[in-house]
């Protein structure tokens, strides 16, 4: 986990769902985070694939008690998910979905879904008076017309459980070779500019 101290009070939590170190997904995400840091945002980046997060066991404890029965690194993720202004999900597309490691984190947010829809205690919709938002970055090696549908739907439901408003999305098709995203100047610039906007609250 990496973080940078805030200068402007805006916090951004970035979930890097790629198992490939310095791969295209991480490079695109890092562009966004650099843009955000340049305007003083407090950035926390989690490399999900290098965290110890067990899959949901479907035990139902969260529906009864509003907490998870498993004890692992998700215990430090939950507070971050609830206090951040922006949640940025970044993932390569695997079989038209998010990576398995990222999906495990998302599934463990059944706790937040249960608090919201079963126990009537949702995560706060705002922090410091600012509406919280969720954003998606996704990269696919395929150029298939429907390649992002599964990822987008998963992200939408995830953000709903977190009680964050759907924000912006950056999708990139046909990016497969490691480092190829760096040749896509428009996408890299778009990511940087998104980071700037998030930091500025625009």
Q: In whole angstroms, what is the distance from residue 143 CA to residue 157 CA?
A: 24
Provide long-range contacts, Cβ within 8 A and 24+ apart, for 30-33: 31/188, 31/191, 31/192, 31/195, 32/88, 32/137, 32/191, 32/192, 32/194, 32/195, 32/198, 33/195
* pTM (two decimals): 0.94
pLDDT of residue 1: 52
Q: Are 86 and 139 in contact (CB under 8 A)?
A: no
pLDDT of residue 175: 96
Beta bridge partners of 44: 3, 13
DSSP 55: P
Closest CA to 35 of 4, 77, 72, 76: 4
pLDDT of residue 170: 98
Q: Are 11 and 85 in contact (CB under 8 A)?
A: yes
Q: E strands along the chain, which residues?
A: 2-3, 11-16, 42-47, 86-92, 126-127, 130-131, 133-139, 165-172
Q: How far is CA 134 from CA 12, 40, 63, 155, 160, in A?
A: 10, 19, 24, 8, 9
pLDDT of residue 201: 82
Residue 179 exposure: Cα atoms within 13 Å on the Cβ side: 0
pLDDT of residue 109: 98
pLDDT of residue 3: 43
Closest CA to 124 of 11, 7, 8, 22: 11
pLDDT of residue 202: 65
Give per-10-residue mean pLDDT for the chain (202 aa).
Answer: 59 98 97 97 97 97 97 97 97 98 98 98 94 98 95 98 97 95 96 96 74
Output phi, psi for 180, to 5 deg: -65, -25
Question: Which one of 3.40.50.360, 3.40.1280.10, 3.40.50.300, 3.40.190.180 gives the CATH number of domain 2-200?
Answer: 3.40.50.360
């Amino acid at each position: 986990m990496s973080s940078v101290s805030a200068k402007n009070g805006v916090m951004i939590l970035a979930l890097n769902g790629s198992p490939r170190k310095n791969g295209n997904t991480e490079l695109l995400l890092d562009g966004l985070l650099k843009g955000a840091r340049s305007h003083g945002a407090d950035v926390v980046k989690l490399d999900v694939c290098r965290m110890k997060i067990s899959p949901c066991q479907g035990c139902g404890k969260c529906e009864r008690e509003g907490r998870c029965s498993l004890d692992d690194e998700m215990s430090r993720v939950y507070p971050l998910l609830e206090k951040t202004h922006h949640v940025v999900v970044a993932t390569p597309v695997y079989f038209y979905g998010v990576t398995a490691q990222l999906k495990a984190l998302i599934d463990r947010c059944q706790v937040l879904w249960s608090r919201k829809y079963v126990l009537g205690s949702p995560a706060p919709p705002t922090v410091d008076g600012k509406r919280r938002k969720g954003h998606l970055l996704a990269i696919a090696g395929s150029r298939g017309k429907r390649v992002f549908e599964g990822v987008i739907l998963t992200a939408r439901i995830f953000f709903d459980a977190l009680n964050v408003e759907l924000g912006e999305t950056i999708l990139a098709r046909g990016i497969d070779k490691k480092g190829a995203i760096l040749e896509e100047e428009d996408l890299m610039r778009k990511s940087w500019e998104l980071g700037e906007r998030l930091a500025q609250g625009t």
